[in-house]
Amino acid sequence: MKRLGNLLLQRLALGLFSLFAVSVIIFLAVSLLPGDIAQAMLGQAATPETVAAFRAQLGLDQAPLARFGHWLWQLLHGDLGLSLANQRPITELVAARLGNTFSLAALAALVSVPLALALGMLAALYRNGWFDRLLNTLALSAVSFPEFFVAYILILVFSVKLGWLPSLSDLPPDASLGTILQRSLLPVATLSLVVIAQMMRMTRAALINLLASPYIEMARLKGLRPSRIILRHALPNALAPIVNVVALNLAYLVVGVVVVEVVFVYPGLGQLLVDSVAKRDIPVVQACSLIFAATYILLNTSADVLSIASNPRLMHPKG
């Protein structure tokens, strides 16, 4: 238990350092965006004096290091600042979208994780058979296509040709649960396809590697059913790599929603990020990017800790 606590503290410290490094990269990348937010907001008819005064009002006339220090100080106090485009608190803008993004990712996880684990176990159970070959072909095909291409194919089939589902996933504030599920179905399917393929192949590889072990051969000689061997003997010992890939794909679900939200016009954090880039709303872009980075780092750290905690050889190394 003490080793697990020390490991958790080390990974948290590393995660905080990674988050600081990411915040520096985000600030530098956003600062290099072309254009001028003051000029864009005032229009081409604005005089240079008016633009300069507006830049001073927004704090854009300060040195980059001073602006970064002020932004970081605000973050440490839980203040994300104000949007340059509409002068609204960024916390309000993010709060209205964050729940939608996490709900979309959670729905995709509820669909993809159990299905991927089940398919991976079936592929390992019937390896080298026609079912295994079919699953591998479908998985490689799903991984090969980019998300936006899969999204447009699903829109073409289920919205344009069949007319079963709406092509846009705009959610009114008073939307019922049925409306939310219906309009989230295509984005969830798009996110799930790639994630299922990756997790299924990793589960299959981890189980097949263990099925060649002597204790599995002994279980076969005892006459145990193949399904019991997979569930009771192979799966518990394959948890470390499976947990790791599941956590990493959950992180991918949260970060990967940006493209999907833009394609389906889904009112989430990814759509807000893209809209803010178009408007050169630097504080909103920084806040959204930092939230995505923090989520990815947290889930990646959790994957690291869980994979070590589920492996006795890593938890209790010899010497």
For the cut 60, the answer to whether the pLDDT of residue 318 exceeds it is no
pLDDT at residue 319 in the model: 47
In this predicted model, what pLDDT tens digit does every residue of 218-248 receive, in sequence order? 777 777 777 777 767 676 666 667 777 777 7
Confidence of residue 33 (pLDDT cuts 50, 70, 90): low
> What is the location of CATH 1.10.3720.10 in the chain?
95-315
CA-based nearest residue to 288, from 95, 67, 88: 95
In this predicted model, what pLDDT tens digit does every residue of 158-217 receive, in sequence order? 888 887 877 777 776 666 677 777 777 888 888 888 788 888 887 887 777 777 677 777
Q: What is the mean pLDDT of residues 61-77?
A: 75
CATH class of 95-315: mainly alpha
- Least confident interval from 37-51, 101-115, 267-281: 37-51
Up-side HSE of residue 85: CA atoms within 13 Å toward CB? 15
- pTM comes to 0.74
The C-alpha atoms of residue 298 and residue 290 are separated, in whole angstroms, by 12
pLDDT at residue 311 in the model: 60
Q: What is the mean pLDDT of residues 87-112?
A: 82
**Other CB atoms within 10 A of residue 179 CB:** 13
